[in-house]
A and B are shown apart, each in its own frame.
Chain A
Amino acid sequence: MSESRTIVSFRDVAFEVAGVRILEGVNLSVARGETLVLLGESGCGKTTTLKLINRLIEPTEGEVLVNGGSTMAVDAVELRRGIGYVLQEGGLFPHMTAAENVGLPLRLAGRDRALIEGRVAEMLELVGLDPERFAARFPHELSGGQRQRLGVARALVADPDLLLLDEPFGALDALTRAALQQEFARIVRELGKTVVFVTHDLHEAMLLGSRIALMDKGRVVFLGTPEEFAASPLPLARAYLETVAL
């Protein structure tokens, strides 16, 4: 099954908390090597959708398949170790240095120290952080942009097939953001990862996405390529497009 083209798929997934429906009838699939962008307004259910994939939360109805098997049928810890995840904000461990943070997934996997050290340096280089300068720093000694890079490096270090990113470049100024988007596009291309990427920024969605899923009030209202999105007659899609046309 793992050879199949589809890495993630949602089948009629609904999710509710305390009787309140947060997701309703979600059907999605993510093919190997593609970057699916979840786009939508604040509160529409993007983060919730993402967390269903690595089973930080469990579906109320329907099922989520990863590599062909239901997430509910495998051990959650095993599942998560094969998936890189970057939180919406923060998520770095404040009591660990940059190097310790990035190396942690490998430490959990029981890799030896020397291998971890080399791999951490490699990852820091990849996300544009000079290991000499940054390896020994604590998160609070880094800028917001540097912390985001570190989060990406940590998600990549164990070489997972699947990467989940929740607005990784959220709280950044426009220039830094643009630079990071470019670098991230390059990294994903080089490494050939499968990515689910959450954003509410259309520009980012168009730049990074091989396909875009537009969400509204807990439903997926559009699913297609950026080109198809640009041509969509949907009012919500038009509203987004107008923000960039300005």
Chain B
Amino acid sequence: MSFLDFITANWRELIMLTREHIAIVMLSTAFAVVLGLPLGVLLTRVRALQAPVLGFANVMQTVPSLALFGLLIPIPFIGGIGARTAVIALALYALLPVIRNTVTGILGIDPKIREAADAMGMTGAERLRLVELPLAAPVILTGIRVAVVISVGVATVAAAVGAGGLGTYIFRGLRQNDNNLLIAGAVASALLALLFDLALGQIERSFTIGERTKRTSRRIIGLGIAGALAAVAVVGGLLVSQANLGRAGELPASGERIVVGSKDFTESIILAEILTQLLEGEGFAVERQFELGGNLPHDSLLAGKIDVYPEYTGTAFTAILKRDPITDPEVVYRETAGSYEREFGLVLSPPLGFANDFAILIRGDVARLQRLRTISDTVPVSRDWQAGFGQDFMSRADGYPGFVRAYGFAFARQPREMDLSLTYRALAAGELDIIAGNSTDGLISALDLFQLQDDRRYFPPYEAVFVARRDKAELLRPAFERLRNAISTEEMRKMNLEVDGNKRQPREVAAEWLREN
């Protein structure tokens, strides 16, 4: 699909994501200013507070964004998933430039000016309003501008906690190996950053002393651009909700509401979509909280932010329950279901019918040329190979360390730890020689990759199931029964390929599967 075709087909969603992005950035900046400006002023009055407050804001900025999002999830009221968490995290980031520039701006004013204000009989508040804030305005606005530009960038990461925004396209593009998505997301957010920068730059310059003639026109240009952005945020929203794309959670007022979550990869989204459409068919009001990164789905489920999401027994057993890997699928299912019930009060659905095991992958041509079939076959020839694994595989009990031990691998070079979806592309491009993917991944056939057989039965089984909160289990039971053993590995791989390879919407692919089954 050409980029133009892509835009023609997806402009509504692109506008909606842009709108969400602008809304998140504007809201978080507003919070940062409302909080940071008075705090900055306070710091100029009570100098003793400067070190602790600026120190805190400094530390906030050094916390990696994804980690901050993760830390906020379990916090009541302000945390959780979705746009609210993103706004709070971004506001925390934006706080530092706002506070610091307020302090610098005010303290940088010539003491003579302040003395003149006092001598004239101004009260503290009058001095602030008439003298200090106007004179510090350019510096403060620079701080706000920096905060906004940072926010536009960090907001793309917010897609990982289900906040929406242009990051959704970037993450999806990485996952689905789709340059159109990547370019659309990246270019749109870069454009946003530039526009915000331009608008605030104009307003900022209008406060510079000696710019009297250009003052008003600058302010008009700046406010014009800012207004246009706000208009996109508002009008875009109306447009999109009228077009009935309906994702922003416009739910029927009555009826039980169920929030379905998903992990941040295609298969999880398709499964969540199938469940969602099934539930909608049964008349429930369903909210989608898809594409949650890392352990967020589990944390969100525990925190009550979502009600159900697709999981794999092996993941639940080893990564969440922290148990040692076992290879018998039935034992793993039974033990997981029991422990989930006891430890978390969570319920497992019946198995969906397929397993998404770890798949050790190499390039198809290499496999054919060197006649490699099993993992053991590759051990003698792999000394100089460059391995690359997702963060998940590197860190979990049934992942890299055990894997290397079980097969006696001795890689000369340290494996690259990188984003899982990128490892497929890197393998196909010859940058990597061996990766650990997922057995149902559509990219395996799309990119001509070869899955080595796990001849030592090292990897535990990863049967697909849904995990649900106990209070929603009764409502979900009919849907769970309908999906019991309903999806074969082959079907799952096909659906994944439809989305990853043929760039179709998970929504469509899920609907198609439901029609045919």
Hey, which bits of chain A sit against chain B, CB under 8 A? 54, 56, 77-83, 85, 87, 89-95, 104-105, 108, 138, 140-141, 154
List 13 interface pairs A-B (beta carbons < 8 Å), by A numbering: A77-B122, A77-B123, A79-B121, A80-B120, A87-B112, A91-B112, A91-B115, A91-B116, A93-B117, A93-B131, A105-B120, A138-B209, A141-B210
Contact B135 A92, beta carbon cutoff 8 Å: no
Does B134 belong to the interface (CB within 8 Å)? Answer: yes
Q: Chain A: which residue is nearest B113 at the CB level?
A: A93
Does B191 belong to the interface (CB within 8 Å)? Answer: no
**Residue numbers in B under 8 Å from A95 (CB-CB):** 134-135, 207, 209
Q: Using an 8 Å CB-CB cutoff, how does the interface string of B126-159 with A read, 1 for contact, 0 for none?
A: 1000110011000000000000000000000000
Contact B120 A85, beta carbon cutoff 8 Å: yes
Contact B121 A81, beta carbon cutoff 8 Å: yes
**Residue numbers in A under 8 Å from B328 (CB-CB):** none
Does B110 belong to the interface (CB within 8 Å)? Answer: yes
A46 to chain B minimum Cβ distance, whole angstroms, is 15
Contact B112 A89, beta carbon cutoff 8 Å: yes
Q: Chain B: which residue is nearest A160 at the CB level?
A: B121
**Residue numbers in A under 8 Å from B210 (CB-CB):** 138, 140-141
Q: Chain B: which residue is nearest A90 at the CB level?
A: B112
B152 to chain A minimum Cβ distance, whole angstroms, is 30
Quick one: given A138-B209, A140-B209, are A104 and B120 in contact (CB under 8 Å)? yes
Does B212 belong to the interface (CB within 8 Å)? Answer: yes
Does B118 belong to the interface (CB within 8 Å)? Answer: yes
Cross-interface CB contact of A92 among B116, B121, B212, cutoff 8 Å: B116
Q: How far is the CA of A161 from the CA of B117 in the complex (A)?
A: 19
Q: How far is the CA of A84 from the CA of B308 in the complex (A)?
A: 73
Does B1 belong to the interface (CB within 8 Å)? Answer: no
Task: Count how many pairs of residues, one from A and one from B, have CB atoms less than 8 Å apart in the complex.
Answer: 64
Does B119 belong to the interface (CB within 8 Å)? Answer: yes
B41 to chain A minimum Cβ distance, whole angstroms, is 18
- 18 further A-B contacts with Cβ under 8 Å, apart from A93-B117, A138-B212, are A56-B115, A80-B118, A80-B120, A83-B119, A85-B119, A85-B120, A87-B112, A90-B110, A91-B112, A91-B115, A93-B135, A94-B209, A95-B134, A104-B130, A105-B120, A108-B121, A138-B209, A141-B210
**Residue numbers in A under 8 Å from B130 (CB-CB):** 93, 104
Q: Chain A: which residue is nearest B110 at the CB level?
A: A90
**Residue numbers in A under 8 Å from B212 (CB-CB):** 138
Q: Chain A: which residue is nearest B126 at the CB level?
A: A108
A171 to chain B minimum Cβ distance, whole angstroms, is 13
Q: How far is the CA of A105 from the CA of B119 in the complex (A)?
A: 10
Contact A78 B112, beta carbon cutoff 8 Å: no
Q: How far is the CA of A95 from the CA of B129 in the complex (A)?
A: 13
**Residue numbers in B under 8 Å from A141 (CB-CB):** 210
**Residue numbers in A under 8 Å from B135 (CB-CB):** 93-95
**Residue numbers in B under 8 Å from A92 (CB-CB):** 116
**Residue numbers in A under 8 Å from B126 (CB-CB):** 108
**Residue numbers in B under 8 Å from A77 (CB-CB):** 121-123
Contact B122 A93, beta carbon cutoff 8 Å: no
Q: How far is the CA of A120 from the CA of B210 in the complex (A)?
A: 22
Q: Chain B: which residue is nearest A97 at the CB level?
A: B212
Q: How far is the CA of A54 from the CA of B210 in the complex (A)?
A: 32
Contact B110 A56, beta carbon cutoff 8 Å: no
Q: Chain A: which residue is nearest B122 at the CB level?
A: A108
Q: How far is the CA of A85 from the CA of B112 in the complex (A)?
A: 12
Contact B121 A105, beta carbon cutoff 8 Å: yes
Cross-interface CB contact of B119 among A56, A90, A93, A138, cutoff 8 Å: A56
- Return the 4 tightest CB-CB contacts between A and B, nearest first: A81-B121, A80-B121, A91-B116, A85-B119
Q: Chain A: which residue is nearest B123 at the CB level?
A: A77
Q: How far is the CA of A87 from the CA of B118 in the complex (A)?
A: 11
Q: How far is the CA of A141 from the CA of B211 in the complex (A)?
A: 12
Q: How far is the CA of A138 from the CA of B210 in the complex (A)?
A: 7
**Residue numbers in A under 8 Å from B134 (CB-CB):** 95
A49 to chain B minimum Cβ distance, whole angstroms, is 14
Residue of B113, B117, B119 contacting most chain A CB atoms (<10 Å): B119
**Residue numbers in B under 8 Å from A83 (CB-CB):** 119, 121
A98 to chain B minimum Cβ distance, whole angstroms, is 12
**Residue numbers in B under 8 Å from A87 (CB-CB):** 112, 115-116, 119
Contact B122 A56, beta carbon cutoff 8 Å: no
Q: How far is the CA of A133 from the CA of B496 in the complex (A)?
A: 76
Cross-interface CB contact of A78 among B115, B121, B131, cutoff 8 Å: B121
Q: How far is the CA of A138 from the CA of B212 in the complex (A)?
A: 9
**Residue numbers in A under 8 Å from B207 (CB-CB):** 95
Residue of A89, A104, A105, A141 contacting most chain B CB atoms (<10 Å): A104
Quick one: given A138-B209, A138-B210, A140-B209, are A94 and B119 in contact (CB under 8 Å)? no
**Residue numbers in B under 8 Å from A79 (CB-CB):** 121
Q: How far is the CA of A154 from the CA of B130 in the complex (A)?
A: 16
Q: How far is the CA of A235 from the CA of B293 in the complex (A)?
A: 86
Q: How far is the CA of A141 from the CA of B134 in the complex (A)?
A: 19
**Residue numbers in B under 8 Å from A94 (CB-CB):** 113, 135, 209
B299 to chain A minimum Cβ distance, whole angstroms, is 50
